[in-house]
Amino acid sequence: MSGAGSRPHVVEVEVRYAETDQMGRAHHGVYVVWCELGRTMLMREHGVSYAEMERSGVLLPVTGLEIEYRAAAYYEERVQIRTKVLAVRSRSVTFGYEVRGPGDRLLARARTDLACIDREGRTRRLPDDVRAALAAAESCR
């Protein structure tokens, strides 16, 4: 996700006790939740509300997920989720993430692919306004 001119959307969270395992580290599954938070906040910042989109019958289920864990996050640490739109296609979108801890320590890199479907589960085109908003977010890279 690095590169000249890169400007990811950044959201910061504190690792909560309930998110940790017996070793005191953030459980691996919570990174998926953090990516979802980063993705929905990026979309909201660019004028796309998940709730409004779903009310209109446009759904974006995750169809692919990759996470590479690099270091642990611990209870009460502040972590940043840095999210970017990597690709916008007619019927799907790909997001990239970096989760960083104190001292800008890289904790994880992730990627999600989302397909656009209707309420019956049929693939459909992204609405023009959603595609334009996501393309604008992508051009911020």
* CA atoms in the 13 A half-sphere facing the CB of 29: 4
The token pair at 65 is 């997920």
Which one-letter amino acid corresponds to residue 1?
M
Matching residue, tokens 């960083």: 100
Say how far apart CA 65 and CA 34 lie, in whole Å.
13
pLDDT band at 139 (very low <50, low <70, confident <90, very high): confident
pTM score: 0.92
Q: Domain limits of the chain?
A: 9-139
The token pair at 47 is 């004028």
Instruction: Dump pLDDT digits (tens) for 80-135.
Output: 999 999 999 999 999 999 999 999 999 999 999 999 999 999 999 999 999 999 99
**CATH number for the domain formed by residue range(s) 9-139:** 3.10.129.10
- Which pLDDT does position 5 carry in this prediction? 42
Is the per-residue pLDDT at 4 higher than 90? Answer: no
Instruction: Dump pLDDT digits (tens) for 47-74.
Output: 999 999 999 999 999 999 999 999 999 9
Question: Are 79 and 73 contacting, i.e. CB atoms less than 8 angstroms apart?
Answer: yes
E strands, the chain, are 9-14, 62-69, 78-88, 92-100, 106-115
Asked if 129 is an active-site residue, the reply is: no
Catalytic residue among 21, 113, 118, 129: 21
- Which pLDDT does position 97 carry in this prediction? 98
- Which pLDDT does position 141 carry in this prediction? 52
The token pair at 103 is 């001292």
Instruction: Dump pLDDT digits (tens) for 5-55.
Output: 458 999 999 999 999 999 999 999 999 999 999 999 999 999 999 999 999
- Which pLDDT does position 98 carry in this prediction? 98
Closest CA to 34 of 19, 52, 18, 17: 19
